[in-house]
Amino acid sequence: MPEPIIIVDYNPEWPREYEKTAARIFGTIGDKVVAVEHIGSTAVPGLGAKPIIDIIVAVGVISDAHKCITPLRSIGYEYTPYPDFPERLFFRDGPMGEGPHHLHVTEFTSSFWEEKLLFRDFLRARAEVAQEYFNLKIQLAARYGADREEYEPYTEAKTSFIESVVARARAEKQSS
């Protein structure tokens, strides 16, 4: 039975866990990698999160991402197809939502790459916005988190907040 959605306080070990995991991934598919970044809430110092390290890998072209499926499987990453999102491939190690790492592989020039970094960097630079996001996640976990079948509503409910932050970050970036 899947575990409920649980938000924990920030863990200062998360950046080290990212570095260790990113090195392992790079050692496996480095010939296709343009860049690797720590994304999501665990990448924002002080922000509580589900204790899952999100990693994004940029490749030159999306066909290179498909060439990563077998090598990543050899180190325990299961490819989970999402036909609605052809601009990225998603991998996990462990059961959905429970494994310690999620891996997203996309093109370096994709909007997915840009938006994930804009969101992360905006939260890193603005503790008050990161706190708003943390409060929202706590509320949503309380509402939807007891049943992992409700994971989609939890994710969807965060979307408008994330989109508004990305829009603000993009506008600031364009004006500077």
pLDDT above 70: percentage of residues in the chain: 93
Per-residue tokens: 149 = 């079948």
* Residue labelled with tokens 């990113």: 22
pTM of the model: 0.92
The full set of domains in the chain, from first to last, is: 14-170 (3.30.460.10)
pLDDT score for 96: 61
* Distance from the Cα of residue 57 to its chain's centroid: 10
Query: Tell me, what's the pLDDT at 1?
Result: 43
- Give residue-wise pLDDT tens across range 74-107: 999 999 998 888 899 999 997 665 679 999 999 9
pLDDT of residue 155: 83
Sign of CA dihedral 54, 57, 61, 63: negative
- CA-to-CA distance for 53 and 13, rounded, in angstroms? 11
pLDDT surpasses 50 at 148? yes
Asked whether residue 21 carries a pLDDT value surpassing 90, the answer given is yes
